[in-house]
Each structure stands twice: as structure tokens, then as C-alpha cells.
Amino acid sequence: MDDLGRYIRDVPDFPRKGILFKDITPLLNDAAALERAVDWMSRQAPRPGAVVAIESRGFVFGTALALRWRVPLVLARKFGKLPGRTVRQVYSLEYGEDTLELQADALESGRQVVIVDDLLATGGTALATVRLVEQLEAKVLAVIFLVELIGLGGRERLEGYAVESLLRYEVHE
């Protein structure tokens, strides 16, 4: 599976100086590689009651997993994008903060969900999504990523949850 790493492109100083951006588009551009990544993800958790996908690259993998498992796809979106009543979670970024939302009726109490995103860095985004799911009294079975950056504290922040990642890279800040 590690050879899927050759479909991840390092882009230095993007979107800002000092950030080594992990570009997953080469993997998305190769149907066989994308299929293998989704296959791997689908083996990391039992079939859940729903998939919660994080905006925006998490939507790609979330859609594939929801189709594979034939379960509802729920979108965790940036503030102001979802109509109707929502629950919100503010989280901090390197500079400033952001807000993620779920529709309040997206998950009923007790539903078991898998959360998915492309990449785990500091874990702030994923932890905010965990909190949103828990605000609706649903249960997090696992949090699944294509890429994990080791050394930024993401896995530690998600302690107590099952965290799975296919490709891991050490980061030295």
C-alpha cells in the first residue's frame, strides 16, 4: 500500500511560505490508485450507520465510502453553507479560527458514524467534526485519513478515538 505514496506530490511553500502541501490530486487522477485507497479505507471500520465527510477533499473519499457501504453521506461544511438548523463548532487554525457545521437533523442519536478526510495535520478540523457528531449524540466508530502528518499532534488530539491513516509522513517544524 505504501507505493500509493508516489501519487502524493509535495508542494513546498503552498499555500503559504513554510507549508509543505501534500497534493493528493495525482491520486485522484488515477482511477486504480483512487480505488485502492478507497478499498483500504473501507476495510478500516465495520460498516457504519453513516459517513461524515469533511469539506472539501473529504467529500471525495466520503462519497466513495458511502456508496461502497450503501449508507447515508453527511457533509461537515464550513460556516454558512448548509441550509436549515445546524450545530456548530469553532476550531483554531494556525492563524485565527474557523467554524464547521452539520445539519441538526443529519444524524439521529445513537447512530454510529465513520468520519473521513484527506489529511490529518494538527487534528483541529477532525476534532471539531468529532464534537459536531457528539453534539447530535451520535457515536464515532473511526476517523479515517488518506494521509497523516506525524509530529503536529493530530493523533494525540484525537486520543480515545480509532484513528486510521494509509500514508504517514514525519514533519519537522
Positions marked catalytic = 57, 94
Strands (E), the chain: 9-12, 20-23, 50-54, 73-78, 86-92, 97-103, 112-120, 139-150, 163-170
Q: Binding ligand AMP by CB under 6 A: which of 7, 22, 33, 106?
A: 22
**Does 118 sit near ligand AMP (CB under 6 A)?**
yes
40-48, 115-123, 133-141, 159-167 -> range binding ligand AMP (CB under 6 A): 115-123
Residues within window 47-76 making contact with ligand AMP, judged by CB under 6 A: 54, 57
Check residue 117 for interaction with ligand AMP (CB under 6 A). yes
Under the binding rule (CB under 6 A), the answer on residue 125 touching ligand AMP is: yes
User: Closest distance between ligand AMP and the C-beta of residue 109, in Å?
Assistant: 27
122 binds ligand AMP (CB under 6 A): yes
Q: Does position 8 bind ligand AMP by CB under 6 A?
A: no
163-170 β-sheet, strand order: 86-92, 97-103, 73-78, 50-54, 112-120, 139-150, 163-170
CA distance 131 to 1: 31
120 binds ligand AMP (CB under 6 A): yes
The CB density around residue 46, as the number of other CB atoms within 10 Å, is 10
Report whether 118 contacts 166 (CB < 8 A): no
Q: Is 154 in the site for ligand AMP (CB under 6 A)?
A: yes
Residue nearer to ligand AMP on the CB measure, 47 or 81? 81
Residue 124 contacts ligand AMP per CB under 6 A: yes
Q: How many residues bind ligand AMP (CB under 6 A)?
A: 17
Task: Show the CA angle centred on residue 64, arms to residues 100 and 126, nearest 5°.
Answer: 30
Of the residues 121, 132, 142, 163, which one makes contact with ligand AMP according to CB under 6 A: 121
